[in-house]
Structure 1
């Protein structure tokens, strides 16, 4: 096997709130470039789950046009949107996509076992047997604006055991790595986990910090803990203390080393992007310039711009202050400090392991790449150098939240999809480009970033090639914006 991928929603090709476009994912592009003819990954109906916001907006645009009157919005919120959500729910709960229906065809496994919502420890803690049990025991009834029940677990089940066979019921992501390594050998493994050890902070706009005792996580990430206030409220951790992250990552690499012992397998480890760059959380209010130590040049400090508050993207400072729905400057810088420490840990552990198994681990610094793309954080002048194909590409994608005018012209965005968190098809192309550059340096056969078909990649990005003309409604209609925020929160597996 030339390529095996372990990751979370990014590596799954999750876009605009749904697991729907793995065929456009960076790992699929890499597999194509490496000449892999049978790289297997799960495919999903266009609706995906839990909610494909792009598909929903396309439906609204088709029915109501680029501007929607107050009366039409009443109709849309009462009938059109619930009808769409009900269609998705029926398919995944009672239709052909239900948890008790095997994946179409005879596919028994995938070469990409990435699952939305997975944090580091889920790579060995979650398997199909667990998913089946939880889905059965935690079903909820239908409701207005309801989305797919247990969508996180349903996604994991389909990826980890597509035929629902007892033979593979207890295989986690790492168990599948062992299966393929033992059966045929694996030449290259991409492991990109860790974003979900912090991502919930910007989706929830609050922080539930782990205890910091340096113990390995012992329960799947969809489980809850009791609130420390003693009121019995159940919450989920959304930010790992660096000591706890380190314990989990050591466990991850220990397990990988054991699986690959004696094997000549290259493992590419992705660093954790600074989740606060994602435009779902919009910086508002006064800005501050913070000196951050440059990782490459220890005596050099970079200027990084932070805002006083971070709230959901359609809203401004008055909303953040009046509602209390925000992360403050101190919270956001704390989140970023934690993630920077995660990445130092990943790099240090890789260096230590390479002293024992030279060349086993290679870092792909996705965090640094995204940091160089960040628009607002870099004062409006991102430093990322796009591939040559983009020299005269207009408009040039940026990390702002997606927006288009009523004539269907893209005004901003292009890197993040409509959930404000996950990459677009073009962004996946950029991730593939950067990954192939590293692979080429390591003499991985056929790894040539310059041969990516950018024309095809850009054409596949419908947000870019066919901008949504009613996007202004999200900025102009507060009620709709609040509804969208509620939908996007459902990306979080425990919602």
Structure 2
């Protein structure tokens, strides 16, 4: 980036080896739910650091996670109705689907999930799904609690109300009483102060900041482009009207976040760029690219709507021009994030940039890998780790598809078409480890004492064993994604889930 080297004070041993601030991508969200937090990318890195036992993260046990896990839902349908729902079975299947959604809603709004385990410790993974820059700046446990509405057992809209706020109460500190006012950034600052008398000035060794995706993601999850306005973009009460932040509004929020991060006592800080949200398979390009070499399709719609059946007057979608504008805004977001890191390094701080945007671009199947004429000069395919390359077929960025319980396509994205699978999170973890080694962070063997030699590699065999979408995908998820299309049409599943953030 054209910045000078920095000299890092390495006296003492920071008590907290890894702390992460972020949204769903950092929390470990999968298949429209948070449930597998022990396999988020920060938890994977902590495992490779040799400090998995000390890495604190929230848990969301019970009924598959929060707000609604699509994977057990599909498995339940498969067990009852096989690989397809016949016409005569459809009314019974709809009733079963709504009953399952109602059971999940009751668990979190009125049942055991309503009780938040008390803790005085601050989590090391401080991410909360659905959060953007303003949430990181302003939301605390007290604020979240005040925003949880009295639940209504609605027979129509059967999804957990205020799901993100409920999730946050398991992330942000609530005790002692004063801790309830701490935001994500404030909680990290408390960990930074925890030097534990070792003689060093840093309580945190490596701090990861991965925010900003939710300043544009709703453009594809809701298939609606509504640009931010002033006033309103920086207000917790009004920002929900917008699905994409204008770059100048993003930069205004980013400056405040960067100022807060500057005050956190972390030896190394790694900022992640914002991925191009239009690459996620939840929004599938249809009708053929406008011209050879173009990056964009005329329209983007749900992945189960075929080119032949797509009707722009009837089906949800955004235009290729809108997709290009959203990507252009994200490019400006990332220029600003890069500028923040450059400025900090010029001031002597040991800050780094993880190019998660470029990482996803290099994994983009439809945009680049399958269209050589669209590839820019810098583009090279991302080399999958050997354990993933050995899978049949190797994972890619298409929507997951199966044949008889065997994966035939996809594998990097989970069943919501937005968030990674476990092996997908492993790729992010590997890239983060590479940056941490650049910062000379020491990785230890599981005994917590023996240094590891370079290269430090993620144990992808372990991740594959724990990734049910890779090793045992739902048998009713064929290449046409008919069962997901049916579920969405019958229950309005995806809109309910993503608007619950």
Q: Distance in 2 between matches of 1:244 and 1:120?
A: 10
Match of 2:419 in 1: 422
Residue 107 of structure 1, CA deviation: 6.0
**SS of equivalent to 1:41:** coil
**SS of equivalent to 1:188:** strand
Q: Distance in 1 between matches of 2:497 and 2:255?
A: 28
Match of 1:55 in 2: 72
Match of 2:387 in 1: 389
Match of 2:398 in 1: 400
Match of 2:495 in 1: 489
**1:87 and 1:259, CA in 2 relative to 1: closer, same or farther beyond 3 A?**
same
Q: Distance in 2 between matches of 1:5 and 1:477?
A: 36
Bigger mean CA offset, 429-438 vs 138-147? 138-147
Match of 2:28 in 1: 13
Residue 257 of structure 1, CA deviation: 0.9
Report matched runs for 1:254-293 at 5 Å. 254-260=259-265, 265-288=267-290
Contact 1:320 1:326 in 2 (8 A): no
Contact 1:475 1:481 in 2 (8 A): no
Residue 494 of structure 1, CA deviation: 4.8
**SS of equivalent to 2:395:** coil
Residue 319 of structure 1, CA deviation: 2.5
Match of 2:12 in 1: none
Q: Distance in 1 between matches of 2:428 and 2:300?
A: 26
Q: TM-score, normalised by structure 1?
A: 0.87
Match of 2:251 in 1: 246
Report matched runs for 1:90-101 at 5 Å. 90-98=106-114, 101=115
Match of 1:188 among 179, 183, 206: 206
Q: How many residues align?
A: 459
Residue 218 of structure 1, CA deviation: 3.3
Bigger mean CA offset, 485-494 vs 392-401? 485-494
Report matched runs for 1:40-439 at 5 Å. 40-45=56-61, 47-78=64-95, 80-98=96-114, 101-103=115-117, 106=119, 108-136=121-149, 139-144=151-156, 146-161=158-173, 165-184=176-195, 185-211=203-229, 217-220=233-236, 223-224=237-238, 236-260=241-265, 265-288=267-290, 305-317=295-307, 318-359=309-350, 361-380=351-370, 383-405=381-403, 407-439=404-436
Residue 440 of structure 1, CA deviation: 1.2
- Residue ranges of structure 1 left out of the alignment (5+ in a row): 226-234, 291-302
**SS of equivalent to 2:252:** helix
Contact 1:309 1:320 in 2 (8 A): no
Bigger mean CA offset, 443-452 vs 33-42? 443-452
Report matched runs for 1:17-32 at 5 Å. 17-32=32-47
**1:379 and 1:474, CA in 2 relative to 1: closer, same or farther beyond 3 A?**
closer
Higher relative contact order (CA 8 A, sep 6+): 2
Residue 124 of structure 1, CA deviation: 1.7
Match of 1:471 among 477, 480, 489: 477
Write out per-residue CA displacement over residues 189-211 of structure 1, whole angstroms, 9 at most, x where no aligned residue. 00000000000000111111013
Q: Distance in 2 between matches of 1:43 and 1:376?
A: 35
Match of 2:19 in 1: 4
**1:373 and 1:439, CA in 2 relative to 1: closer, same or farther beyond 3 A?**
same
Q: Distance in 1 between matches of 2:238 and 2:258?
A: 26
Supply the RMSD in Å over aligned alpha carbons: 2.3
Write out per-residue CA displacement over residues 269-320 of structure 1, whole angstroms, 9 at most, x where no aligned residue. 0000000000000000130358xxxxxxxxxxxx552111101111134434
**SS of equivalent to 1:15:** coil
Residue 324 of structure 1, CA deviation: 5.0
Contact 2:286 2:299 in 1 (8 A): yes
